[in-house]
Amino acid sequence: RAINKVLFFPSEVTCVEHFFSPLSTHSCLCPLPHGVETSFSRLLHYILSASSSLNVCVFSFSEVNLSRALLLLHSRGITIRVLTDRDYSAINGTQIGVLRKAGICVRCDRTSVHMHHKFAVVDEQLLITGSLNWTQTAVQRNKENILITEDPELVQPFVKEFQRLWLNNNPT
């Protein structure tokens, strides 16, 4: 049965360490609530479900746990491509430098207009899209939405648009 979900934010702030260190699930001593499903933990879950590729196209990317998720997928051999906006890749707290240093392919839209998308495509078949930038403010404070779907009529246009934008922003 195809995934078709909507998540609303802000998300309650809870511990997400179990996504990154499965062995320590039952032993985390941090002060955040544990074992609670939230919009943000569901978002992490779907991103971490990638088994072959992850294409990310987001205006701004500064949220640390989303960055950790990409680093974890990268370490598993998942092909990751990140397209972001030039103006926002330069701001304080951006994770773009961290991703680049780890060897993840990142391209910045260098045009004068905003690359204002906030979507990701997992394994070319699961679309994650909405109003949410990949920032802590968006996740923890703003009123935001994310729609998650496997409907090919919705996913395929985004797969194609990512490819088009990726090629248009070839740095070479």
Binding site for a second copy (CB under 8 A): 4-6, 8, 10, 59, 109, 113-119, 129-132, 137-138, 141-145, 147, 149, 151, 153-154, 157-158, 161, 165
Active site residue 160: no
Q: Is there a catalytic annotation at residue 116?
A: yes
Q: Applying CB under 5 A, which part among 1-9, 14-22, 92-100, 126-134 lies near Zn ion?
A: 14-22
24-43 mask for Zn ion (x: CB under 5 A)?
Answer: ----x-x-------------
Site for Zn ion in 49-108 (CB under 5 A): none
7-39 core/surface letters (b: 16 or more CB in 10 A; e: else): bebbbeeebbbbbeeeeeeeeeeeeeeeeeebb
Nearer Cβ to a second copy, position 52 or 142?
142
Binding positions for Zn ion, rule: CB under 5 A: 15, 17, 28, 30
Please identify every residue annotated as catalytic: 116, 118, 123
